[in-house]
Amino acid sequence: MTLGSAPTLDDVAREANVSRSTASRAINGGDRVSPEAQAAVDAAVARLGYTPNRAARSLVTRRTDSIALVVPEPDTMMLTDPFLTGVLRGVTDGIAGTDLQLVLLLNRVDEAPGRIARYLGSGHVDGAIIASAHERHQLEAALTRSHLPAVFVGRPFGEMSHHFVDVDNVEGSRLATQRLVERGCRRIGTVTGPQDMSAGIDRLHGFRETLAAAGLPSEAVAHGDFTAVGGGEAAARLLDEHPDLDGIFAASDLMAEGVLRTLHSRGKRVPDDVAVVGFDDLGVAQHTTPRLTTVHNPVVATTMAATATLLGLLAGAPVPAAPQIFTPYLVEGESA
């Protein structure tokens, strides 16, 4: 160990008066090492401030000890979505206690497609958590090809061969829509999420099913993009086509915020003229005027579960039989 360079396993071994292999074993779990040797190595490690060289370890173990969090979201607006925050928090907490690195893979502005898929397929990470997947990104096929352990946060589109964890979006939108129905609304519309994302699709399904079951029409549908601005614009279109609307289900709180703004600017009182229910409960619902009635989406828990599944996969654990689906619940506000 020359001055200035980091201590190596050899330095530790020398310091502890054992062989390199014994030092290695002591450091990695302590299997087949005498208590004395273990103590000597531990002491040497502490004294030298030794940290294993990740590259060298990777080279022989053929693992990188890092996982990727993929957010293939091309829209800058989307990044401000508290959803990403929750995902970040979930993954971060999920790998706490492990020595896994988190490599963040965001879509770059104006970049050619395929970079992320290529990266994932190139063995740079041991596994991946995929959030906010759009159908057009075609990550699923690439993932299938590369055999990289991966878990989706939110149901993927294609063959159900991918692992995923999700919130029950159909049930959530059912809760939201049912609330409007029970409140007495009879002309109910919805501002949907993107229809190339499973969350957007599922929440529209729940909406339609609930209204059908209640014997109410469900043709008042405007598509949003999970942003506040997009939600406001969708609400404007909705009101133009259906001026008599008395209830709106917005498929995300961010969009609901835009809906409230549009309603306000058109002089509609909430909830008296038009009742509104959102979806997510990730912080914005408490800050709207009036406070938003919404459906709680346990993003952090969902993402932590996804991370746990991925860790299991990496450890060679038996494959879970079915995806974990988390249950949403209604959160009282003043808007419906």
Tokens of 168: 């029950």
Task: Give the one residue of 15, 22, 95, 164 binding DNA; rule: CB under 7 A.
Answer: 22
Q: Please give the size of the binding site for DNA, defined by CB under 7 A.
A: 28
Whether the CB-CB separation of 166 and 326 falls below 8 Å is answered with: yes
> Which region, judged by CB under 8 A, interacts with a second copy, from 52-60, 137-145, 150-158, 171-179?
52-60
CA distance 108 to 115: 10
Task: Give the one residue of 24, 66, 85, 92 binding DNA; rule: CB under 7 A.
Answer: 24
Site string for a second copy, 147-166 (x = CB under 8 A): --------------------
Binding of a second copy by 58 (CB under 8 A):
yes
Binding of DNA by 32 (CB under 7 A):
yes
CA distance 239 to 278: 17
Binding of a second copy by 80 (CB under 8 A):
yes
Pick from 117, 194, 114: nearest CA to 157: 194
Binding of a second copy by 327 (CB under 8 A):
no
CA distance 162 to 306: 12
Minimum distance, C-beta of residue 138 to a second copy, in the bound complex (Å) = 18
Pick from 179, 167, 235: nearest CA to 203: 167
DSSP 177: H
Minimum distance, C-beta of residue 120 to DNA, in the bound complex (Å) = 17
Alpha helices in the chain (DSSP H): 9-16, 20-27, 35-48, 54-61, 76-79, 82-94, 115-121, 139-146, 169-182, 198-213, 228-241, 253-265, 299-314
19 binding partner (options DNA, a second copy, none; Cβ < 5 to 8 Å by kind) = DNA
DSSP 328: P
Tokens of 296: 């709680």
Residues lying near DNA in the complex (CB under 7 A) are found at 5-6, 8-10, 18-22, 24-25, 27-28, 32-34, 36-37, 50, 52-53, 56-57, 59-62
Residues that bind a second copy in the complex, under the rule CB under 8 A: 6, 51, 53-56, 58-59, 64, 66, 69, 76-77, 79-80, 82, 85, 88-89, 92-93, 96, 101-106, 108-109, 111, 122-124, 228, 257, 261, 264, 283, 287, 289
